[in-house]
Amino acid sequence: MPVMTYNSLFFFVFFILFLLIYLLMPRPLPRQIVILAGNFYFYKYAGGLNCMSVLIVFSVVVYFLTRRMEAIYASYEKEAEGLTKKEQVPLLQSYKKKTRICLIAGIAVILGTLLYVKLGRLLHFEEVARIRELSFRKIMVPLGLSYFTFSAIGYLADVYWRKAKVEHNYLTLLTAMSFFPAIVEGPISRYDKLMKQLRELPSFSYERVCHGMQRMFYGFLKKMVIADRITPVTTAIFSDVFSYAGVEMVLAVIGNVAAIYMDFSGCMDIVLGAAETMGVTLDENFRQPFFAKSAAEFWRRWHITLGTWFKDYVYMPIAMNPRFMKWTGKVRKKRGNNAAKILSAAVPLMIVWILTGLWHGTGKDYLLWGFYWGILIIIETAFAKELKAVPGKLHLNTGSFGYRLFQMIRTFVFFAVGRMITACGAGRSVFLILIQMFREARFHILTDGSLFQYGLDKKNAAVVACGLLVVWIVDIAASKGSVREKIDRWPLVLRWVVYYALVMSVVIFGIYGQAYDAGAFVYGGF
């Protein structure tokens, strides 16, 4: 049976046929039904319908629990009528105790499943594809589990906090939870926002379909032309670290960073573009991350929806926890404002980063990766004033291009070190790479032509370099405003030259087939 990935011809043909049927639908409801059918078809060929049963069970659990919470809050609203705001506070607290049971039950089912699967992978439990084969020490890994569990927990929590409207139509909830463009790698959707859009799916718009398709092809370019050329080379190097050293290792790390950016952001372009053609706006996951001036800013630009999820559902609830606040209050009295401020940021930040590491993988390498980012960001937060004063003391012009470039290179290095921690799939990965990096220089590979004998010959290296240059220019343009709107204002001929070049570059230079074994998107594995 063929496997459907976003960069496969199978997906493209499916998507075009799906879109044609979808655009023929006269009203939002039939459009939504077509999307739901598309979700099932996509899941069947991308992850297997059997595995989809987990998602369906989750959707039923979420549906009934949110409806129950809504009913409890409706009773509160009735009782609260006529009371002053102050009188409403204790009444609401008593009702929240009842809804909390629903929230805890939902999280227990959803998070419990995710933890069981993650633990099962760590302990090498046998993976099965059918529910009837499930038993102790066997796991089923549904496609997109890490993504739809987080979105589902977010929706449950938002209903508990009375921040989200409860969906009454089960099919709309199921459509949102299984929304095929976002099921494999996110973005981690807020179901209430997505369901609102699904209820009001707009009719055909030439501009929107055109923009969506442009973005999809830009994503194909990033993934199939650039990432899929680099990934096999860097994977080969990191799986045999001891055979490479010096410049080889430095280039492999740079290549690895470029590949993961092209792979993940390329996938997001395909996903957001596909959703855009349907009139659905998903949350952006990238905003020129390597233009960030600090580690914290980097994570506000890279995998944005995961960072936002952790901020809203882990960081803030911990930081706002009354017991935690009392504790930081005591510290404030004893050690002063600054100590309390650092503590109130550091503790939740470290918890968030350890969990972010474990979300990516359950090995020691990802735990170390979480610690690494946690410590970096805590240092930036705790010593913000001191760090801000450093350029002044060194008489550096912080507004100059040189200083901005330095900040960007620093961000790149931060991220590259993070990648080195997980590159070889072992806890000591970063140390192995660093040792090899400084063991010997091997500068000769830059001049004697051997640089092109690692799996990327001159022609392919030129394709990658040109591709990266295009992405870099687009990123610069995007940081100053919408690139597609700018292109829209270009003369017709020039516009079509760009579209044609984009499509043809994917058709001619795209990497197809399984020979490279690079077809799958990296973040699909989480």
Partner 1 sequence: MKQKILYVLSENYPEIDFESSDELVDDGTLDSLTVVGIISALSAEFDVELPYEEITPENFNSIDAITALFEKYV
User: What mask of x and - would describe binding to partner 1 in positions 381 to 400, judged by CB under 8 A?
Assistant: x-------------------
Q: Tell me the pairing of strands 126-127 and 138-139.
A: parallel
CB 68 within 8 A of CB 40: no
**165 contributes a contact to partner 1 by CB under 8 A:** no
CB 138 within 8 A of CB 128: yes
**375 contributes a contact to partner 1 by CB under 8 A:** no
Q: How far apart are alpha carbons 234 and 26 in whole angstroms?
A: 49
**359 contributes a contact to partner 1 by CB under 8 A:** no
Closest to partner 1 by CB, 231 vs 344, is 344
Closest to partner 1 by CB, 71 vs 89, is 89
Residue with tokens 């023929």: 24
CB 479 within 8 A of CB 195: no
Closest to partner 1 by CB, 103 vs 274, is 103
Give the CA distances from residue 277 to residues 100, 204, 265, in Å, rounded to whole numbers and listed in that order: 39, 9, 18
**67 contributes a contact to partner 1 by CB under 8 A:** no
Among 328, 362, 429, 436, binds partner 1 (CB under 8 A): 328
Least distance from C-beta 92 to partner 1, angstroms? 8
Other Cβ atoms less than 10 A from the Cβ of 311: the count is: 15
CB 245 within 8 A of CB 439: yes
Least distance from C-beta 318 to partner 1, angstroms? 9
Instruction: From 220-228, 325-333, 390-398, 404-412, give the range in contact with partner 1 by CB under 8 A.
Output: 325-333
The residues near 386 (Cβ < 8 Å, ≥ 6 apart) are none
Residues 224-283 binding partner 1 (CB under 8 A) are none
Among 115, 123, 240, 329, binds partner 1 (CB under 8 A): 329
Instruction: From 82-90, 176-184, 396-404, 405-413, give the range in contact with partner 1 by CB under 8 A.
Output: 82-90
Least distance from C-beta 160 to partner 1, angstroms? 8
CB burial of 325-358 (b: ≥16 within 10 Å; e: otherwise) equals eeebeebbeeeeeeebbbbbbbbbbbbbbbebbb
**162 contributes a contact to partner 1 by CB under 8 A:** yes
Among 315, 366, 415, 509, binds partner 1 (CB under 8 A): 315
CB 449 within 8 A of CB 458: no
Handedness of CA 312, 316, 322, 324 (dihedral sign): positive
Q: How far apart are alpha carbons 116 and 122 in whole angstroms?
A: 10
**316 contributes a contact to partner 1 by CB under 8 A:** yes
Closest to partner 1 by CB, 17 vs 74, is 74
Handedness of CA 120, 519, 302, 485 (dihedral sign): negative
Closest to partner 1 by CB, 388 vs 459, is 388
Least distance from C-beta 194 to partner 1, angstroms? 20
CB 343 within 8 A of CB 331: yes
Handedness of CA 159, 164, 170, 176 (dihedral sign): negative
For the chain, how big is the Rg over CA atoms in Å?
Answer: 25
Give the total of residues touching partner 1 (CB under 8 A).
26
CB 356 within 8 A of CB 306: yes
Among 44, 67, 96, 208, binds partner 1 (CB under 8 A): 96
Least distance from C-beta 67 to partner 1, angstroms? 19
Closest to partner 1 by CB, 157 vs 522, is 157
Closest to partner 1 by CB, 79 vs 312, is 312
CB 5 within 8 A of CB 15: no
Instruction: From 224-232, 271-279, 321-329, 392-400, give the range in contact with partner 1 by CB under 8 A.
Output: 321-329
Residues 337-356 binding partner 1 (CB under 8 A) are 337, 340-341, 344-345
> What residue ranges bind partner 1 (CB under 8 A)?
85-86, 89, 92-93, 96, 161-163, 311, 315-317, 319-320, 322, 325, 328-329, 332, 337, 340-341, 344-345, 381
